[in-house]
Amino acid sequence: MDHQESSHEQDATRLSLSTHHEPEPRSNAQSRIATSGDMAIAAIKYRFARLVITTITLLLFVFGTPYLVQQIQYSLEYGKIKARYDAASVHLSSGTSASVSQRSELVSNKVTPSVVHIHTAAFDMEARTNRRVLPDSNLFPSRGQGSGIVVSPDGYILTNRHVIEDSSLVYVHLADQSRHSAEIIGVDIETDLALIKINKENLIPIEWAPREAVQVGSMVWAMGSPFGLEQSITLGIISATHRTAKVGTLYQDFLQTDAAVNPGNSGGPLVNEDGQLIGVNTAIVGDAYQGISFAVPGYVAKSISDQIEKNGRVSRGWLGLSLANPTTETLALHQLELTEGQASRGAQVTDFAPSYSPGYAAGIEINDVIIEFNGLAVTSTTQFIQAIGRTPGGEEARITLRRLVGNESQEILIKLTLGERPSE
Which residues are catalytic, by number?
A: 162, 192, 266
Q: Report the candidate in 115, 107, 112 with the shortest Cα–Cα distance to residue 82.
A: 112
Q: What is the DSSP string of 104-166?
A: HHHHHHHHGGGEEEEEEEEE-HHHHHHH--STTPPPPEEEEEEEEEE-STTSEEEEEHHHHTT
CA gyration radius, the chain = 39
E strand intervals along 124-267: 141-150, 156-160, 169-173, 179-188, 193-198, 207-208, 219-224, 232-243, 254-257
How far is Cα 147 from Cα 172, in angstroms, rounded to an integer?
9
Query: How is residue 318 annotated by DSSP?
Result: E
Distances (CA, A) of 209 to 11, 176, 203, 303, 321: 121, 25, 19, 13, 33
Element (H, E) at 271: strand 269-271
| Residue 39: burial class (beta carbons within 10 Å; 0-12, 13-18, 19+) | exposed
| Residue 362: burial class (beta carbons within 10 Å; 0-12, 13-18, 19+) | middle
**Which phi and psi angles does 237 have, rounded to 5°?**
-135, 165
Q: How many helices (H) and strands (E) does the chain have?
A: 10, 21
How far is Cα 401 from Cα 347, in angstroms, rounded to an integer?
9
